[in-house]
Amino acid sequence: MTDHDQTGTPSDAAPLDTIVIGGGISGLTTAWGLARAGKRIALIEAAPRAGGVIGTLREDGWQTETGPNTLMVKAPLYALLADLGLTEEAILADQRAARRYVVSQGQMVALPSGPVSALTSPLMRPVWPWLLREPWIAPAKGEETVAGFVSRRLGPAMLRSFVDPFVSGIFGGDPARLSVQAAFPRLAALESGHGSILRGALAKMVTKPAPSPFPRPPKGWRSVIASFPKGLQTLPERLADRLADHAEVMLDTPVSRIARVGDLWQVEAKGQIREARQLVLAVPAKAAAALLEPLDAEIAALLNQIVYAPMASLALGFAPGTVAHPLDAFGVLLPRPEGRRTLGALFPSTLFAGRAPEGGKLISAFIGGRLDPGAVTLSDDELTGIAMRELGDLLGLSAPPVWRHVRRWPEAIPQYEIGHLDRIAAIAAREELMPGLTLTGNWRGGISMTDCVTNGLTLAAQLAERP
C-alpha cells in the first residue's frame, strides 16, 4: 500500500503494541491478557456494546440468554473469573443439571450418568455388544466424519441415541459432514494414539495430566456449569469495564480498512488511523475475509469457505401450572430420526434462580442447524408453533407461553466439517506471510465460550513474549 491509498487521518499517538479488532469473548480475553502483561492495547468493536453473540435479555420478570446459555468452568475460565473478581458473583447450576434427557421412540429417557445407570439404561442395550468388541476394531486411516467414526467403532445405536443429538445440540451440525478430527480431536486422539477409544480412555485415567499454565480450580469449581445472577452478559461487560482501565476500548467503531505499512499495521476506523506492531483479528471468518481480501485474496477465499449453521432460539415463558413435566434436568435433546425439527430444549428456570417469575417456567428451544437452514426464515408464530407441537407432548404443555423472545442467527455456529483442518493449516500458512497478524475466533480451536477464553488467554501469553 502507498500513501495515496490512505483515506483516514493518522493519529498523533505513538504506535501501540497490539490492536485487537473484535470485542467478542475471543477478542476481549486476548486484549485482557495482553493488557495484564503490560502491553499497550486498543480493542476496536463495531457494535455499541462488547460481547459479540453473548447477550442477556431481562423483561417482565423473565431473563434469557440470546446467545450462548451457560459456561463450563475449566482452569483458564476460572483463572479469568478470579482475575476479574467474578468468582463471588458467579452462580453454579442446580444439581439437577447433571441429568440430561434424550427422546427415544417418542419418550423422554434420561441419559446414563454413570456406570450403574449405563448398565440399566434401555438406550445402552444395543450399544453394549459394540463396546465389548470396540478394543479390537482397527483404526481408520485419514480424516473421517463423526458419523463414520462412531458407526464404525460404537455402532448405529450409539450414533442415533447419543451422538446425533449431541452434535445437533452443540454444533447444530450434521454428523455425516463434521470431521471427528476437527470437531472432537480428543476423541479421535484416543483411537490414533491407542488404537481404541476404550483403551485410550483407560490409559488417560492412569496417566498424569500434562502441565498447564493455569492453576487447577478449587474443589467445587471443576467442570461445573455456571452463570451470573444477571446472566452471561456479565462476563463481557466486566471484561470491557476492567480493560478500559488498562487500554483503549473503542465501541461502535466499525473498521473500514487494514494495511501493512513498513513494520506496522494500520487500522482505519471512523476516519482515524491507528498503528500497532501486532494486529489480532478476533472476528467471524467472513468478517476477517472482508478485511483481508485487499491484502491477500487467497486467505480471504479460504476464510469464506468456512460454513456456519443457522439457528433460531426461542425463549418461552409459561405460567404456573401449565407445564406438567418437572423439568428436572439440564434439558432434552431430540435426535433427527425422531422426525422433529426442534433440535433440543434447555430448562433455564431449573438451572438458575431468577430466570422466571414466581412459579413460572422458562424453556429455551432451538430450531434450525445445518440440516434445516430454512428454519430461520420462519415467522415467530411459525417457530413457536413448531416448538409447542414438538415439545408439548413431551413436557405436558397445557397452554401457550405467556411470554416469548425469538432470536435468529443466520450464521450461528461454524462447522468443523471434512477438510476443515486442512483449511485451517492453509490459513495459518498465509498468516505467516503477514508478520504481526494473528487470526482467532470460534472458527478455529473450539466453538464454546470456554474454548474461546482458553484460546484468547493462551494467544495473549504467546503474543506478549514476542519482541
Asked whether residue 337 is domain-assigned, the answer is: yes
Assess if residue 168 is contained within a domain.
yes
Q: Please determine, for residue 317, whether its predicted confidence score (pLDDT) is greater than 80.
A: yes
At 467 the pLDDT is 81
Whether the per-residue pLDDT at 96 is higher than 50: the answer is yes
341 and 382, same structural domain? yes
Q: What is the pLDDT of residue 3?
A: 37
**Residue 109 is assigned to a structural domain of this protein:** no
Tell whether 281 and 331 lie within a shared domain: no
Residue 17 confidence (pLDDT) = 98
- Note whether 266 and 312 are same-domain residues: no
**3 state DSSP class of 49:** coil
271 and 256 fall within a common domain? yes
**What tens digit of pLDDT does each residue of 388-422 get?**
999 999 999 999 999 999 999 999 999 999 999 99
Amino acid 44: pLDDT: 98
Report pLDDT digits (tens) over 424-460: 999 999 999 999 999 999 999 999 999 999 999 999 9
Closest CA to 17 of 467, 424, 368, 340: 467
For residues 325 and 189, membership in a common domain is answered with no
pLDDT in tens, 23-56: 999 999 999 999 999 999 999 999 999 999 999 9
pLDDT at 210: 84
Are residues 445 and 299 part of one domain?
yes
pLDDT tier at 116, thresholds 50, 70, 90: confident
Q: How many domains does the chain have?
A: 3
- Cell numbers 430466570 correspond to 355
Question: What sections of 121-233 are H helices per DSSP?
Answer: 128-133, 146-154, 156-158, 164-171, 180-183, 185-194, 197-206
CA distance 266 to 9: 11
Q: Residue 267: which CATH number?
A: 3.50.50.60
What would the mean pLDDT of 146-168 be, rounded to a whole number?
A: 96
pLDDT 10s digits, 179-216: 999 999 999 999 999 999 999 999 998 988 888 899 99
* CATH classification of the domain holding 179: 1.10.3110.10
pLDDT at 292: 98
Each residue's pLDDT tens digit, 212-228: 899 999 999 989 999 99
End-to-end Cα, the chain, rounded Å: 25
Tell me what percent of the residues of the chain surpass a pLDDT of 90.
92
Calculate the CA 277 to chain-centre distance: 29
Same domain, 395 and 249: no
pLDDT confidence bin for 2, thresholds 50/70/90: very low
Q: What would the mean pLDDT of 125-137 be, rounded to a whole number? A: 95
d(CA 31, CA 27): 6
Judge whether residue 5 has pLDDT over 60. no
Q: Given 190, 206, 222, which residue is the final one in a domain?
A: 206
Domain membership flag for residue 246: yes
Average pLDDT on 344-370 reads 98
Domain closes at, from 414, 431, 446 = 414
384 and 455 together in one domain: no
Cβ within 8 Å of residue 381, ≥6 positions away: none
What span, in angstroms and rounded, lies between the C-alpha atoms of 296 and 287?
A: 14
CB atoms within 10 A of CB 136: 8
pLDDT, tens digit, 9 for 90 and up, residues 71-93: 999 999 999 999 999 999 999 99
Q: Reply yes or no on whether the pLDDT at 358 is more than 90.
A: yes
Residue 158, amino acid: M
Mean pLDDT of 289-304: 98
Residue 169 C-alpha cell reads as 445440540
Report, as an integer, the average pLDDT of 289-313. 98
β-strand pairing of 41-44 with 248-250: parallel
Domain that holds residue 262: 3-53+75-80+230-306+417-464
**Higher local confidence (pLDDT), 287 or 212:** 287
Is 92 a member of any domain?
A: no
Whole-Å CA distances, 401 to 315, 316, 319, 336: 9, 6, 7, 25
Report yes or no on 428 lying in a domain: yes
CATH number of the domain that residue 349 is part of: 3.90.660.20
Question: Cα–Cα distance between 76 and 81 in angstroms, integer?
Answer: 9
Q: Quick one: pLDDT at residue 9?
A: 65
| Residue 1 confidence class, pLDDT cut points 50, 70, 90 | very low
228 Cβ contact partners less than 8 Å away, ≥ 6 residues apart: 86, 89, 90, 91, 234, 235
Say yes or no: 11 and 47 in one domain.
yes
Distance of CA 86 to the CA centre of its chain: 20
pLDDT at 114: 85
Residues 373 and 291 in one domain: no
With vertex at residue 195, the alpha carbon angle to CA 133 and CA 137, rounded to the nearest 5 degrees, is 30
CB neighbour class for 381 (10 Å; exposed up to 12, middle 13-18, buried from 19): exposed
The grid coordinates of residue 91 equal 452462580
pTM: 0.94
What is the mean pLDDT of the segment spanning 4-15?
A: 65
What's the confidence (pLDDT) of residue 6? Answer: 54
Residues ≥6 apart with Cβ < 8 Å to 165: 102, 103, 333, 334, 335, 336, 343, 344
Confirm if 14 and 284 have CB atoms less than 8 A apart.
Answer: no
Res 4: pLDDT? 34
Backbone angles phi, psi at 95, to 5 degrees: -60, -20
Phi–psi pair at 206, nearest 5 degrees? -110, 5
Question: For residue 211, what pLDDT is reported?
Answer: 86
C-alpha distances in Å from residue 249, one per residue of 144, 398, 460: 42, 48, 17
Q: Are residues 292 and 315 in the same domain?
A: no
306-324 average pLDDT score: 98
Domain annotation covers residue 69: no
Residue 397 shares a structural domain with residue 444:
no
- What is the sign, positive or negative, of the torsion defined by CA atoms of 143, 145, 148, 154? positive
Residue 396 lies in a domain: yes
Rounded to 5°, the CA angle 264-268-274 comes to 45
* 127 half-sphere exposure, CB direction, 13 A CA radius: 18
Across 89-120, b (16+ Cβ under 10 Å) vs e yields ebeebbeebeebbbbbeeebbebbeeeeeeee
